[in-house]
Chain A
Amino acid sequence: MPSTPPQPEYKTFVEICESGRPRSTKTRSFQEGGVRSLLVACASFSILVTTLIIGILAYETARFLQDVSVWDFLTGLEWNPLLGEERHFGIWPLIVGTLLVTLVAAVFALPIGLVTAIFLSEYAPAWLRSILKPILEVLAGIPTVVYGFFALIVITPVLQSLGRVFTGEDTFGAYSAGSAGLAVGIMILPIVTSLSEDAIRAVPKGLRDGAFALGSTRFDTSVKVVVPAALSGIMASYLLAITRAIGETMIVALAAGGLSQMTFLPWEQVQTMTAYMVQIFLGDAPATGVEYKSSFAVAGVLFLMTFLLTFSGYRILIRFREEYE
């Protein structure tokens, strides 16, 4: 017999029962009820928060829509709220800008994140894993404003010189959707990696053993057995990462520029929904102006988009979860 492992220093249950004065069952159940309602109150706070967010955004959006028609807001292809004789409040340039940055980030981070997750859980020896995991955790803990700084002083110059090498002219400006998108991509990379890796590691060992027993290589096992089995978790991690990319603020405010335009060219500058809100809340727009109110409507659209994404991620995780005994 090996020596017994060190025992945890918990009080024994008898000690627990004997500590404190004896109380009647009545008092105990009374306390129980009180604490229980306190806990319910705390739990309900999160519902209150959701209600308030929806309520405030709906109220302010309704006020905004008194000045601008719903039709113009939801179908307009021009967003020009601050300057010019005729101001336009069509949300689409902001949505397209947001989607462009998100697309660049997704194209960069989703494949790399998945491959990194496969490598970490299927290939990497323990010592390498124990180095790589903390590095990814550090990457996940870096504030987004730092990524914005990084985009401006490193990614943008690199893209500019790459553009000059390949096209011979200055394709990338000082601000571009591509630069911001890559920085957002680096930001969401650890999210994709760690959540996908969790999903992949949750696939039972028996599946891998079965595949190996059939003569599979590790490549066959990971790509044809493990990844399909973990697909729901991987999809959920993708959706969560995309949600974070859509809602990312500081990177795009710093690196994507401030010109709202309908474009899918990553070297153009774009304005995202969040960057517009930064422009309004940081600027001196009067709180009664229609452009100020418009930022709440934009926030409403942003909230709706992220809400739908998170919710569908949750549904995917529940519905397509592979349960193994």
Chain B
Amino acid sequence: MNQPNPASRHFQGLIERGTSRRSAARVRVDRAFSLACLGITLIAVLALVILLASILIEGASGLSWSFIQNYASRIPDQAGIKAPLFGSIWVASICAIVALPVGVATAVYLEEFAAKNRFTNFLRINISNLAGVPSIVYGILGLTLFVRMFGLFGPVQNPAFEVGGETFAIYYDSMGEPLRVPVADRNETPRLVTGSIGYMQDIFDGPDGELIFTNDWSPIPLTIVNADADFSPAYGVITVDNAVEPIDFEIEKSWYYVQFPFGQTVLAGGLTLMLVVLPVVIISSQEALRSVPGSLRAGSMAMGATRLQTVWKVTLPASIPMIMTGAILAMSRAIGEAAPILVLGVALFITDVPQNLMDAFTVLPMQIYNWTSRPQEEFRALAATGIIVLLGVLLAFNAIAILIRQKFSRPLQ
């Protein structure tokens, strides 16, 4: 007790300057400072109010069921947000499924198992550094690691490894209708040429090695010609147009379809966002575990439980509400991130909801960015409406977090 309190030096100034008596002037300063504080604090409130108000003014009128039901369009009136909305939900779910177990396991290791040594210290510094890495840098990591896989499996457009898909070459006839021709893989040159015979729905192999187009009324048998054949056009015969190489490939994917490299797919996007939020999940789970009183652990260990049993049956259940709250906040961060997804090079014009881990996608913030960056007023209004939807999704997430916190939180003492 002879040691001087290290805090005492803080009072030195007060004592030396003879401030031990309240004077009217100092009370006035205090009063003025208090008011100034209140005023400055209200700046944050004001910012939020103006922000929300401006978005509502711009975007509330565009909010309708058709806006949520429609896909992207170049015509502002018909544009909707269905694809990015579902894309965001897909990506956030993948992100949660991977980030949660890895993050919580890391936190459990650091808080419950790790010895106090250099490795542990290094881990801690490393995680706090990762939390400070800009999200766009994670985008670059995701691009190289997931989208391209270091180029180990060939280019993204022509993946070297595919399982569970049927490949179709896509041509467009002169009416602009797509023709789908089944091929073995993307390297095979299909034996079809393009032409125009009105509206065609599908094409499949006929009995004599010919291809049969179907339209709405009846199947039309066609002679197959090579792309370089000299063939005079006739009714019902598809003629050589300009397309020798297929315009595009389409893959009919079974649910287990996988390709390496992943390309700009939902899975790559979700995993990239997982990298972004992993440090956040780790840090919030660490805080959750730290909040569990040591007496609970000590009691469990005293009853002969191993560390693992203690963690599994005592510590984790007690900290689940906090972990879940942190996790949901991390997920809302993932939903709001645009930069890493942008780096992956996802297509801006998606007109389909992802059905599969290997489907193309876009996310809400990307769509909002796209609309905002256009000069036309109409697209700004669309962006505002998109923001309302995005904030609505985030609000729903946070409501769930609050519900979980209330439902599961129990007194620990």
Say whether A141 contacts B398, CB under 8 Å.
Answer: yes
Closest to B313 in A: A16
Please state if A46 and B279 are interface contacts (CB–CB under 8 Å). Answer: yes
Find the A residue at minimum CB distance from B372: A149
Verify if A118 is at the interface (C-beta below 8 Å from B). Answer: yes
| A57 interface residue per 8 A CB criterion | yes
CB–CB A278/B10 < 8 A? no
How many of B's residues come within 8 Å of A, CB to CB? 109
Known interface pairs A153-B58, A310-B128; A139-B36 also in contact (CB < 8 Å): no
> Is there an interface contact between B132 and A307, defined as CB atoms closer than 8 Å?
yes
A299 to B304, CA, bound (A): 52
A87 in contact (CB, < 8 A): no
**A115 within 8 A of partner (CB):** yes
B391-A146 in contact (CB<8A): yes
The number of chain A residues with a CB under 8 A from chain B is: 106
On whether the beta carbons of B38 and A119 are closer than 8 Å, the reply is yes
Q: Are A115 and B134 in contact (CB under 8 A)?
A: no
Residues of B within 8 A of A281 (CB): 139, 143, 342-343, 345
Whether the pair B369, A141 counts as a contact (CB closer than 8 A) is no
Indicate whether A136 sits within 8 Å of B44 (C-beta atoms), given known contacts A250-B365, A299-B136. yes
Task: Determine if A186 and B47 form an interchain contact, defined as CB atoms under 8 angstroms apart.
Answer: yes
Q: Determine the residue in chain B with the shortest Cβ distance to A33.
A: B308
Interface on B for A, CB 8 Å cutoff? 6-7, 10-11, 13-15, 19-22, 26-27, 29-30, 33-34, 36-38, 40-41, 43-45, 47-48, 50-51, 54-55, 58, 101-102, 105-106, 108-110, 113-114, 122-123, 125-141, 143-145, 275, 278-279, 282, 299-300, 302-309, 313-314, 317-318, 329, 332-333, 335-339, 342-343, 345, 365, 368-369, 372-373, 380, 383-384, 387, 390-391, 394, 398, 410-413
Chain A residues close to B by CB (< 8 Å) = 5-6, 8-11, 13-14, 16-17, 28-29, 31-32, 35-36, 38-40, 42-43, 45-47, 49-50, 52-53, 56-57, 112, 115-116, 118-120, 123-124, 132, 135-136, 138-139, 141-150, 152-154, 186, 189-190, 193, 204, 206-207, 210-211, 214-220, 223-225, 228-229, 240, 243-244, 246-250, 253-254, 274, 277-278, 281-282, 296, 299, 302-303, 306-307, 309-311, 313-314, 322-324
- Known A-B contacts: A57-B137, A148-B369, A211-B10. Give 16 more (CB < 8 A): A13-B305, A16-B309, A32-B306, A32-B308, A50-B129, A119-B37, A141-B394, A142-B391, A145-B336, A189-B44, A214-B20, A220-B19, A303-B133, A307-B129, A307-B133, A310-B128
